[in-house]
Amino acid sequence: MSSTLPRFHSLRVADLRRETPDAVSIAFEVPEALRPLYGFKPGQYLTLRRDFDGEEVRRSYSICSGPDDGELRIAVKRVEGGSFSGWCNTALRAGDALEVMVPTGRFGIVPEPEAARLHLGFAAGSGITPILSIIRFLLAREKRSRFFLFYGNRNAADMLFREALEELKDRFLDRFSVFHVLSQEEQDLPILNGRLDGEKVRLLLRHLVPAAGVDHAFLCGPAGMSEDVAATLRELGIPEERVHVERFVSAFDGRPRRAAVPKPAPDAPPAHSAALIVDGKRREVPVAEGEAVLDAALRAGMDLPYACKGGMCSTCRARVVEGTVEMEANYSLEPWEIEAGYVLTCQARPTSARVVIDYDQM
């Protein structure tokens, strides 16, 4: 059986571009043989991995190029205490090789070429990255649709892809509008000053875009901002299934977090057992009380997909086909997925003596 799991491959850096003083975009050279694997949908992300001081660190970064642009490019903004983002901004060079997982993520929609739809985008900081890819794609594929973007930053110097957004505005003059909301730099229009939060969005839609005519809204930024804006959009009458949210992991992107799990006695039997189905093969692993299934599998030496380990990205998604688990956190699975038995294995802790989890039903 061929592998169904997303895998890592070594890709060389084709180009680095300084976007702001603390952010770079990175384009990868994809060999011909791997191109089918690295075809992507707008809104997806790449997971990179590298050893820092002998410890593996994984970090996910959204793809900012569009599927029609002919390149695979991500943006990395340097954050305080971020080992991976700091290294990308200071040490990475063109020609270097990186371990890169194939594109994953489900942020975005299927275009309707004949439709005349109204789309909204709400981005803060580096949250513009996946939304830029979506904007490029929808404007190119839906010739009669319009897109209004509201982009929040501290000041103009912090804006990622300002020139790219201006080029899109010039190219799609009648169909694309961008409004910059700045919290630490005063602008002529008072409505565009301040933070991009629920209250601000309510004002913007009252004066600029009627919420009643919106077909889809795309949100990406810090979790608090995204949740506040999403709640406001729902209150204004936009159906929940048309509000698409991509949540970023905590700004600290250093070593992966580890849950505190009580250490069992050496001769004690495992509290739980998990049978994991991967590529048609089944393997049993012991799971300690309070331990996540993913952590138990990694401890047993299994090579499974994961990225954030914080319940945000859904890279570790799999389906429970027997037994029960409890998720500590879930920021990415939809209600229908949970109803169908899907879980985030980085957050799933067994509540039955035995569980069977199928990764082939990702």
- Give 318 or 269, the one with higher predicted confidence: 318
Pick from 230, 247, 264: which residue ends a domain? 247
Same-domain check for residues 238 and 322:
no
Residue 243 in this model has a pLDDT that exceeds 90: yes
Alpha carbon distances (Å) from 35 to 71, 73, 304: 11, 14, 22
CATH number, residue 122: 3.40.50.80
Q: Alpha helices of the chain — where are they, by DSSP H?
A: 83-90, 128-141, 162-171, 198-207, 223-235, 293-299, 335-339
* Residue of 220, 161, 229 whose CA lies nearest to 195: 229
- Report whether pLDDT(252) > 70: no
What pLDDT, on the 0 to 100 scale, is given for residue 334? 84
Give the residue numbers spanning the domain of 203: 118-247
Average pLDDT of the segment spanning 94-104: 96
Q: Are residues 55 and 161 in the same domain?
A: no
Residues 164 and 231 reside in one and the same domain? yes
Q: What is the pLDDT of residue 223?
A: 83
* 8 A C-beta contact, residue 220 and residue 246: yes
Q: Evaluate whether residue 2 is within a structural domain.
A: no
- Sorted by sequence, the CB contacts under 8 Å of residue 24 that are 6+ apart come out as 16, 17, 18, 75, 76, 88, 89, 92
Whether residues 123 and 243 share a domain: the answer is: yes
- When divided into structural domains, the chain yields a total of 3
Question: According to the model, what pLDDT value does residue 264 have?
Answer: 55
Domain membership of residue 264 (yes or no) is: no
